[in-house]
Structure 1
Amino acid sequence: MKRLRLDRLTGQLLLARPRAVSRSASVPRTALRAPALPLSVPRCTAVRSQSTAAAPSIPTENNTETTSSIVEDDFDDHTDPVRFPPLEELPPHATSMPSPPPHRALESAKLAALHARLALPIKLPLQTLARALVDASADPNPAFNNSTLAFVGQSLIHYHVAEYLMCRYPRLPMDILFAAMKGYAGPATLHHVARSWGIEHAAAPGGEVDPGLLQFSMEKPGDAITGFGYRRSELDGMRKYKWRHGINSRVVFDDDFGEVVDPEADKENLRKRSNLQYGDEYTRSLAERAYANCARAVVGALYAHVGREQAKAFIRAHILSRHLDVSQLFAFKKPVRELNMLCAREDFEPPVARLLSETGRLSRTPVFVVGIFSGNDKLGEGAGPSLEHARVKAAINALKSWYLYSPGEHVRVPSDMLSENAKPWEPVYIDMGEIVGR
């Protein structure tokens, strides 16, 4: 008994029509031919070895078979789907380009799968999505790389992340806010976001590469996207003498993460890493920046083609939906002193530490539970192997409970008023600021 090949069987069924038409039917042969492709789509005559779905047959001058003949053929005589032609069959100008031409985006199965996997709207064309996968190090021409789209996406991501954190945690100190913003929208985080989308990168950029692959060069870093912030006039002195810059100057002069804008230092770091050519650290840094720019460029492409609301919904679904434990970002140096200053500023009664319970005082593993009280109100409690350790932990927990106050997860943000038929704005809570002078 002859064994059936299931993979060939499924490929033929995808090509077959719901109702088979015999050769002797009265339907004319021209009506059964596959529709011709538009003139803007180039035709490929080569075949692909594997595919998740069989592609319809494209009639050419040497191929005039009808769909009905495919149905009546034996299962062993299957038709392979279409793939990209090999390098030797490509025209000479295709391999000399730094990135694939835009019209090849319509032929890429990887690109179509990425478009469907991210549930992107139809208004976002495949050509723009393919451009979002071309880093500035692969193609220096800004008309074909993702530098401009990445700049727009970076602005949108930082704006929505900042307003979300400020409205949800209105009492966060600025250094913790900077750290939380970097945790949500930093290069390392966006690198993992783009990786989770299933984006793969090409070994080297070129015109023959599949447009569905991320393309960046490991030989030259390329120009980074223009960021925000000002270059300090005293930057040389800060670099030489390690001057301290406070929170106020970080807000006014530095970038969105509170880091000093120093293009020369960035170029020097890349030059030092390039000495380890194709080393792990150097390759990881280039890949991280390329993937982060790709994630930003996808957001910028959504804003350019679809609009503000779709870009905001995409940021909420893929970036703000990630879990970040903000309580782990705190590092107090003198929590007891800071708690005393907080109570004095808010006109609370001075905090007092009281022993709530203990066990095993004379054993090797004692446990003390200490609570911090302001009058009759308990501000926090902590447990530790000693009274002093438990008192410090109780002060830390009391400070965290103050700084992590939140009106709720679904708090309204200012950008909600930009949508149509928005409800009247209700002012959000604004705190007077953090404790200064630690």
Structure 2
Amino acid sequence: MQHTSRRLVSTATKLNASNSISPSSLSFFPPKEALKPPADSFEKDAFLPTDWAAVQPTPSTALNAFAHRIGLASIFKDTDVIRQACTHESYLPLFRKHHPGKALPKTNKQLAALGNSLMGMFATEWVNGRYPHLPTRVMKSVVTAHVGPPTCESVAREMGASPLLRWHRTPASETEPPVLHADAMASIPRSLTALIYQERSLHVARKFVHAYFISRQVDLRSMLKFTNPKTTLIELTKKFGRETPKSRLLSETGRFSNSPVFVVGIYSGADKLGEGFGASLKMAEYRAAEDSLHRVYLTRRPDDMLQLPTSTFPTGLGDIFQKGPEADYTAPEPVPDSEVLYYSADRSARR
């Protein structure tokens, strides 16, 4: 019994060190059910210190510190709002088990759904406006890289939300999969985005998403994969009314040696579209066509010409269909046919 008590106290100390429970709750630890020896070592209702700590209320000081740390203390003055944003719906069965007579706490289920839609909209309009010629499938990958579940989970950890999260891995029923900690963590930034939208405006929520998500660097070049870049380049030049691209050997060395190097350039009329090198003419031509496509698809719209659809909305609370301070939104150019042919098809189609 003494060993069990020491182990429980040690576990409580570790849990308290991470600010997951209030120090005032330690005076009631261990509870009476923890001192009862289980009849079977495999008993399902055996006392677990981690579950006991999970159902304890989060200290208000930790919630206030979290609000100040992310720069939203002026918006989230009520700590109950932050507590709701950090409470996943998987936490309810555990809370109901330990406190059957108490009212269930509010979860972030609806907030996370709303925040996920807002973050997807903000990221999509920015990627589409910044890279107007980016293929659709690649654009979806870039949006996922900015605001997808792994990024949301990483941002939540950087914010220091891990000790504040309330969740439980065990599913509510046998047919449901277990809830992963990463998925529960990802719901916190989404809920914060929805709360900012409700408390302030769409403009403030977009500013929050841009500061924490859109500002991250994403390697777009690695997402552009080509099976036949030369054919794609020919279709692309036809779409823009340019001359058919032709390959030209610019320089070479060691043709009859063990390590030759060829440099090939692709031209459309007098304009040089791209350049590539390789140990063979075919490889150099492949890389030159790939470089030409990268120059087109990775073309960035300047900051002074970048306009987002949500920037035309009102900056305060009210009807989002009212005209904002900026001018009317101008839609980008239509998507090229080659993009639809070679990038929007399924994996089995020719690209």
Name the CA distance, whole Å, in 2 between partners of 1:344 and 1:307: 44
Q: Which amino acid in 1 is paired with 2:132? A: P
Identify the match of residue 61 of structure 2 among 102, 109, 115: 109
Deviation at 1:349, TM superposition (A): 1.1
What does 1:35-434 align with in structure 2 at a 5 Å threshold? Answer: 83-86=23-26, 88=28, 99-100=55-56, 107-124=59-76, 125-139=78-92, 144-201=106-163, 213-220=164-171, 271=177, 286-409=180-303, 411-420=306-315, 422-425=325-328, 427-434=330-337
Deviations 1:234-283 (A, max 9, x none): xxxxxxxxxxxxxxxxxxxxxxxxxxxxxxxxx97x64xx6xxxxxxxxx
Counterpart contact for 1:135–1:145, Cα < 8 Å:
yes
Deviation at 1:346, TM superposition (A): 2.3
Deviation at 1:377, TM superposition (A): 0.5
Deviation at 1:89, TM superposition (A): 6.5
Aligned length: 287
**Greater Cα offset, 113-122 or 407-416:** 407-416
Query: Residue 157 and residue 142 in structure 1: after superposition, are their counterparts in 2 closer, same or farther (change >3 A)?
Result: farther
Deviations 1:128-179 (A, max 9, x none): 1111111111126986111011111111101111111111112111111111
Deviation at 1:50, TM superposition (A): 8.7
Name the CA distance, whole Å, in 2 between partners of 1:304 and 1:221: 30
Deviation at 1:328, TM superposition (A): 1.3
Query: Residue 303 and residue 96 in structure 1: after superposition, are their counterparts in 2 closer, same or farther (change >3 A)?
Result: same
Counterpart contact for 1:171–1:431, Cα < 8 Å:
no
Q: Which amino acid in 2 is paired with 1:190? A: C
Give the secondary-structure state (helix, strand or coil) at the position aligned to 1:86: helix
Query: Residue 286 and residue 426 in structure 1: after superposition, are their counterparts in 2 closer, same or farther (change >3 A)?
Result: closer
Give the secondary-structure state (helix, strand or coil) at the position aligned to 2:252: strand
Counterpart contact for 2:203–2:311, Cα < 8 Å:
no
Q: Which amino acid in 2 is paired with 1:84? A: S
Deviations 1:277-310 (A, max 9, x none): xxxxxxxx70111111111111112222233222
- Name the TM-score, length of structure 1 as normaliser: 0.59
Deviations 1:64-114 (A, max 9, x none): xxxxxxxxxxxxxxxxxx94231527999xx999855xxx55x43322221
Name the CA distance, whole Å, in 1 between partners of 2:330 and 2:26: 61
Name the CA distance, whole Å, in 1 between partners of 2:71 and 2:328: 31
Name the CA distance, whole Å, in 2 between partners of 1:221 and 1:404: 45
Q: Which amino acid in 2 is paired with 1:378? A: K
Q: Which amino acid in 2 is paired with 1:431? A: P
- Name the TM-score, length of structure 2 as normaliser: 0.73
Query: Residue 123 and residue 337 in structure 1: after superposition, are their counterparts in 2 closer, same or farther (change >3 A)?
Result: closer
Deviation at 1:403, TM superposition (A): 1.6
Deviation at 1:122, TM superposition (A): 2.1
Structure 2, unaligned stretches of length 5 or more?
1-15, 33-50, 94-102, 316-323, 343-350
Query: Residue 367 and residue 185 in structure 1: after superposition, are their counterparts in 2 closer, same or farther (change >3 A)?
Result: same
Give the secondary-structure state (helix, strand or coil) at the position aligned to 2:180: helix
Query: Residue 347 and residue 118 in structure 1: after superposition, are their counterparts in 2 closer, same or farther (change >3 A)?
Result: same
Counterpart contact for 2:253–2:260, Cα < 8 Å:
yes
Counterpart contact for 2:239–2:337, Cα < 8 Å:
no
| Larger CA Rg, structure 1 vs 2 | 1
Identity %: 29
Deviations 1:358-402 (A, max 9, x none): 223333332211100011011111111211101001101111211
Counterpart contact for 1:216–1:290, Cα < 8 Å:
yes
From the two aligned structures, give the one with the greater helix fraction: 2
Counterpart contact for 2:237–2:243, Cα < 8 Å:
yes
Counterpart contact for 2:236–2:336, Cα < 8 Å:
no
| CA RMSD of superposed structures (Å) | 3.1
**Greater Cα offset, 388-397 or 136-145:** 136-145
Deviation at 1:214, TM superposition (A): 0.8
Name the CA distance, whole Å, in 1 between partners of 2:236 and 2:270: 17
